[in-house]
Amino acid sequence: MLQLTNDRYTIGGVDALSIVERFDAPIYVYDSATMKRQYERMEGAFKQVKRLRINYACKALTNLNVLRLFRGLGSGLDTVSIQEVELGLLAGFDPHDILFTPNCVSLAEVEEAAAKGVRLNIDNISILEQFGTLHPSVPVCIRINPHIMAGGNSKISVGHIDSKFGISIHQVPHVLKVVKALGITVEGLHMHTGSDIYDAEVFIRAVEILLTAASDFPDLDYLDFGSGFKVAYKEGGIATDIEELGDKLGRRFNEFCGDYGRELELMFEPGKFLVSEAGYFLVRTNVVKTTTASVFAGVDSGLNHLIRPMFYESYHHITNISNAGSKKRIYNVVGYICETDTFGVNRQLSEVHEGDILAMANAGAYSFMMASNYNSRFRPAEVMVHDGEAFLIRERENMDDLLRGQVAIPSLERSTHEVEA
């Protein structure tokens, strides 16, 4: 956490400006203690459930050190691509502790994951039939779309009627026919609506739909309720009340297991909840520019490094960590990319001077992972603060990274030389 003591900001107990002095800016900094705290909070909230498994949805942040941290805490992994599966195996996860939950991938990719021994989550009937015909003995999980829509940005809501995710709850009779005809074992049912959970009751309505479907599948070992756990982006902002959800859902789940006649495993796959608050993105102010309408703080980064504000209109709280305690002024914080590139508008910051370091909060999830080389810029470095020490966990890119993989057409290369000559 970013904390202020004696006019100095620290992250996980390490002086934040000293991290920039050592590794330069822009830079992503993750506090492992916050990840651990969130993981344990979730475990605690569901303690009445006998078999609980938290699968970290690693698309939020796949640095190997983050994966290893979660493995050490006892977490499993939720993956959406064969490359994430491979990263998980490299980080030391047992294949059985990895769930592969892709959407619209090829049969070949599903088979590749099966060959690696990870658990499969099937999200359409076409693949279920094809895969089940070729590998009837491999148990699978079925991703169900309960069509519950509850808030959230339309780009991240995946449970609505027109969504490409999952198999519609109305198609369960069809699924059952395929399963029966091919002799497939369905070991799990899954849903992930992608909606933010504001209200435990609304979430449990979706859960009830999955539980009703579950009664039709006799071989279940687990039920996976996905994610949607919301973290607060501002002080006092709305977040999922995980303790309330744990209490209500835990009770309902245990009751269902009684009716079903077996102690099922309850799974969740949070991404944001586990890592969002652990991350800060530190950038340096290049220019302070006063126009007729605004004061802009222009920083040494942009939507190439943190696209969420422009892409999802997501809010990232910004703090000037170089000038704590000075008088506040209103700024638009903008990036250096040559198109509209805004991190935050009308933000009250301690007076910003050129060279000041600004810290953007909630930069653990979907932040570095969505960074690109747009404008031919290098992607930033990543640091993890662990046990009171700052470790570089990814080097800043350089020119070699930009050129890696580029292949020259000889005649073009030659003609360039001729022009120069």
Ligand X SMILES: *Cc1c(COP(=O)(O)O)cnc(C)c1O
Asked if 227 interacts with ligand X (CB under 6 A), we say yes
* Site membership for ligand X, residue 123 (CB under 6 A): no
Contact call for residue 270 and ligand X (CB under 6 A): yes
Q: Sign of torsion, CA 150 151 154 157? A: negative
47 versus 155: smaller Cβ distance to ligand X: 155
User: Among this protein's residues, is 141 annotated catalytic?
Assistant: no
Per CB under 6 A, does 145 bind ligand X? no
**Is 9 marked within a binding site?**
no
Q: Is 112 annotated as a binding residue?
A: no
> What is the chain's length?
421
In the complex, the smallest distance separating the C-beta of residue 38 from ligand X, rounded to whole angstroms, is: 11
The residue among 60 and 127 lying less far from ligand X, judged by its C-beta, is 60
Nearest-CB residue to ligand X? Answer: 271
Tell me if 124 sits within 8 A of 152, measured CB to CB.
no
- Count other C-beta atoms under 10 Å from residue 332's C-beta: 18
Q: Which of 9, 225, 229, 280 binds ligand X (CB under 6 A)?
A: 229
Q: In 62-138, which ranges are continuous DSSP H helix?
A: 64-73, 82-90, 107-115, 125-134
Q: Determine the size of the site formed for ligand X (CB under 6 A).
A: 17
Minimum CB separation from ligand X for residue 197, in Å? 9
| SS percent in the chain: helix, strand, coil, step 5 | 35, 25, 40
- List the structure tokens of 221: 């070992």
For position 305 contacting ligand X by CB under 6 A, the verdict is: no
Instruction: List residues bridging with 141 in a β-sheet.
Output: 121, 188
Whose CA is closest to 222, among 269, 183, 176? 269
Question: Measured on CA atoms in the order 53, 101, 168, 240, is the torsion positive or negative?
Answer: positive
Smallest distance from ligand X to CB 111, Å: 20
Choice between 308 and 347, CB closer to ligand X: 308
Map residue 31 onto helix, strand or coil: strand
Phi, psi of 98 (to 5 degrees): -115, 130
Contact region with ligand X (CB under 6 A), list: 8-16, 201-209, 267-275, 348-356: 267-275
Residue 375 neighbours by CB under 8 Å, 6+ apart: 302, 304, 336, 337, 338
Determine the 3-state secondary structure of 286 from DSSP.
Answer: strand
**Measured from the CB of residue 115, what is the shortest distance to ligand X in angstroms?**
21
Which of 32, 52, 78, 147 contacts ligand X by CB under 6 A?
78
Binders of ligand X among residues 183 to 202 (CB under 6 A) are 192
Token readout for 411 is 């005649």
80: contact with ligand X by CB under 6 A: yes
State yes or no: 312 annotated in a binding site.
yes
| Residue 339 annotated in ligand binding | yes
Instruction: Build a one-symbol-per-residue string for 35-54: x at contacts with ligand X by CB under 6 A, - elsewhere.
Output: --------------------
Q: Which stretch binds ligand X (CB under 6 A): 40-48, 110-118, 225-233, 367-375?
A: 225-233
Give the whole-angstrom CA distance, residue 113 versus residue 124: 16
Cβ 102 to ligand X shortest distance, Å: 9
E strand map for 186-334: 186-190, 222-224, 265-268, 279-290, 295-299, 318-320, 328-334
Least gap, CB of 243 to ligand X (angstroms): 17
Cα–Cα distance, 15 to 18 (Å, whole number): 5
101 binds ligand X (CB under 6 A): yes
If the CB atoms of residues 32 and 101 are measured against ligand X, the closer one turns out to be 101
**Residue 112 CA, distance from chain mean position:** 23
Q: Assess 119 for contact with ligand X (CB under 6 A).
A: no
For the annotated catalytic residues, the residue numbers are: 338
Chain residues in the site for ligand X (CB under 6 A): 57, 59-60, 78, 80, 101, 192, 226-229, 269-273, 365
